[in-house]
Structure 1
Amino acid sequence: MRLRLYFSLLCLLGAAPALAAENARVLTTIKPLQQIAAAVMDGVDTPALLMEPGASPHTYALRPSDRRALAGAERIYWVGPELELFLQDLLERQDNSVALLHLPQMTVREQMQSHNFQNEKPADHHGHDTHGHHHDHGSLDPHIWLSPANASAIARYMAEDLASVYPQQADQLQANLDLFEQRLTAMDNNLRARLSTLQKKPYFVFHDGYGYFEDHYGMRPQGIFSLSHEVQPGARHINQLRQQLQAAGPSCVFTEPQFTPRLINSLTEGLPISVGTLDPLGSAIDVGPQGYERTLEDIAGALAGCLETL
C-alpha cells in the first residue's frame, strides 16, 4: 500500500510541470523568454515554460501535453521558426502566438557560419541589420535575448500586449516594466565596466550563439568551432581544431552544458588552454523577476572569470 501511494505521489509530482503549462494563460517556449515575461508579470500571473530547462529547441519533439498547453494558452511567446522550427506549422496557424524575432522593434544580425576568425579583419565581426532589409529564411541569428537592448524591447512589447490579457492589471504590468528596465540598466553598466578591459583577450566558442551579447559588449571570439553535441567529430576534425588552439597560445575555450568533458579534454589536453562554460539558456537560473539579469550576469561572469586569468 505504501509503495503504491509513493508511486502515485511520484507520478503526480512528475506531471506537475505539464499540468502547470496546460493551465497557463501565458506560455513561453524557452527559459530566457519565460524570465523576461516573469519580470513583466510579477505579482500578476506566472508564465509557463513549454520546454524543460536544458532541452534543445533544435531537437525537441512535442508531447500531447505540449499540444494541449499550446491550444489552451491565451498568449504564446516564441522566438520564431529560426529557433523553434518544430512549432512553425502549428503556431503560424494560431493568432495567439508572437514570433519575437520578427517584431519590428528587434535589432537582428545574420547567423554566421562556424569557422576560424584568426585571419579576418575585426571590423566585420557581426553584422547588425533590421527588418527593413531582405533576409533568406533561416539566415537570422535567433539568439535575440542575449542582447539587453532586445530584452528591453521584448519586455516593452509584452507589457503592452499583456494589458489586453490582464486589463485590470495594466498599471502593474507597466510598473513591473519600469523596474525591469531600471535593473537592466544597472546590470548593463556593471557588465560593461567589467568586460571593457577584456575585449582583446583570445577565446573560442563552439557555435555562433553569442553574437548579440558580443556585439553589445564589444567582445570578439578568435574562433567559432563547428561542433555539434548531437554529432561527435572525427579524429581529423579534432586535430584541426587543436592546431588552431595551439596557434592561439594561452586562451579560453568556452563549452556549453551539453558538451561532454571527454570531447573538451581531447581538444585541450596538453595545451595552455583554460576551459569555461557558457549557458545561453540560463538552464540553472531561477525563473523569478530577476532571472533574466542573472542569466546574463552568469554569462559575463564565466567569460570574465576565465579571460581575467590570461
Structure 2
Amino acid sequence: MSLLFLLVSTRIISVSIPPLASMVSYLAGEQYKVVSILNQTQNPHTYEIRPSDLKTAITSDLHIEVGDHLEGWGKRICEKRKNCLRIYDELESRNIKVSNPHIWLDLTLIPECARIIEKRLEKTFPQDSLLFRKNLNQFLLNFDSLKTELKDLFKNYSGTKVLLYHPSWNNFVEPLGLKVAGALVHHGEKEVSAGDFAKWVQRIKSENIRLIIAEKNMPSQICENLAKESGTCYVLLNPLFGGDFLDGLREQAVFIKKGLECRK
C-alpha cells in the first residue's frame, strides 16, 4: 500500500534540455522527479522528437522548455500540454529584451529565468511554495558568487577576441569581458564555405582572435582546421551540460580560460 502511494504521489516535471533540467531540479528540490527530453550529446535545433518523448511531456505535471525557435519541436508539446512553460516567451511577455535564445547561458538573464520557473512551480505545486522560494533565494546567492568568481577568472583577458562556431555563447563570454568577433554558422546554416573559411583565416590573424569556441553537440572539423590554418587555438564546450547547474557553468568557463592560455 505504501509503495502504491509513493508511485501515485511522485510528481514529475519534464524539461526540454539537460541544463534547464538542472536549474529546475535546483529550484524544485529532491522530492520532484525532473526528466530531460534531450541528453547532453543531442542538438535541440535538429532533434526529431519521438512518441515516447511526447508521452513523457504530456503525462508530466509540468513541462518546461526554452521556447522561441530553439526547440523546433517544442510547440507540438505545448499545443497538447496545458501546463507548459516556454521561458523565452515569458521573458518577452514581461518586456525583457532577449537577444539570444540560449537563455540558460546568458549571465544577465539567468536570475530572471530562475524567477519565472519558481513562479510556475508555485502555481503548479502551491503546497511547496515556501520551499521553492527558499531554493530560489539560495540559487540567486550562489549565482551572484559564481559571477564574481568568473569575472575574476577572466580579469586579465578583458577585450580579448574569440570566435564562436555557433552563437550560443555570446551572452556568456561578453559579461566576462571577452569580445565576440562573430560566429561561423547560424541557426539553419550548414558548413562554412571555402571562401568564408579563407576570410576567417585572415581575420583571425589580422584581428588577433585568440580562441575559437566549438560545441560538442555540433560535430565539425571546421574549428580544428581553422585553428591550424590561422595559428590560433580552439576549445570544445558543451552547452547542454548536465549535473549541477552552477558547476556546469563554472566548468565551461574553466575550459574557455584554458583555451585562452594555450597561446602565450
Q: 2:84 aligns with which of 94, 97, 102?
A: 97
The separation in 2 between residues aligned to 1:98 and 1:250, in whole angstroms, is 39
TM superposition shift of 1:278: 2.2
The question of whether the paired residues in 2 share the 8 Å contact of 1:198 and 1:304 is answered with: no
The question of whether the paired residues in 1 share the 8 Å contact of 2:166 and 2:183 is answered with: yes
Counterpart residue number, 1:205: 164
Counterpart amino acid of residue 69 in structure 2: E
Gaps of 5+ in 1: 1-22, 111-140
Counterpart residue number, 1:125: none
Alignment of 1:260-299 (within 5 A): 260=219, 262-282=221-241, 285-286=242-243, 291-299=244-252
Counterpart residue number, 2:4: none
Are residues 1:77 and 2:70 paired? no
Q: 1:170 aligns with which of 92, 105, 129?
A: 129
TM-score, normalised relative to structure 2: 0.84
Alignment of 1:176-215 (within 5 A): 176-215=135-174
The question of whether the paired residues in 1 share the 8 Å contact of 2:167 and 2:186 is answered with: no
Instruction: Report SS of the residue matched to 1:33.
Output: helix
Counterpart residue number, 1:146: 105
Instruction: Report SS of the residue matched to 2:211.
Output: strand
Alignment of 1:27-106 (within 5 A): 27-92=14-79, 94-104=81-91
Counterpart residue number, 1:20: none
The question of whether the paired residues in 1 share the 8 Å contact of 2:166 and 2:186 is answered with: yes
Instruction: Report SS of the residue matched to 2:124.
Output: coil
The question of whether the paired residues in 1 share the 8 Å contact of 2:151 and 2:176 is answered with: yes
TM superposition shift of 1:50: 0.9
User: Which protein shows a greater Rg?
Assistant: 1
Identity over aligned pairs, percent? 19
The question of whether the paired residues in 2 share the 8 Å contact of 1:229 and 1:259 is answered with: no
Instruction: Report SS of the residue matched to 2:179.
Output: coil
Gaps of 5+ in 2: 1-9
The question of whether the paired residues in 1 share the 8 Å contact of 2:16 and 2:65 is answered with: yes
The question of whether the paired residues in 1 share the 8 Å contact of 2:13 and 2:35 is answered with: yes
The question of whether the paired residues in 2 share the 8 Å contact of 1:206 and 1:255 is answered with: yes
Change over 3 Å in CA distance of 1:185–1:228 after alignment to 2: closer
The separation in 1 between residues aligned to 2:95 and 2:170, in whole angstroms, is 14
Are residues 1:305 and 2:258 paired? yes
The aligned length equals: 252
TM superposition shift of 1:28: 0.6
The question of whether the paired residues in 1 share the 8 Å contact of 2:17 and 2:37 is answered with: yes
TM superposition shift of 1:241: 2.4
Change over 3 Å in CA distance of 1:217–1:243 after alignment to 2: same
Instruction: Report SS of the residue matched to 2:213.
Output: strand
Pairwise CA RMSD = 2.5
Are residues 1:108 and 2:97 paired? yes
The question of whether the paired residues in 1 share the 8 Å contact of 2:46 and 2:72 is answered with: no
The question of whether the paired residues in 1 share the 8 Å contact of 2:68 and 2:88 is answered with: no
Instruction: Report SS of the residue matched to 1:38.
Output: helix
TM-score, normalised relative to structure 1: 0.72
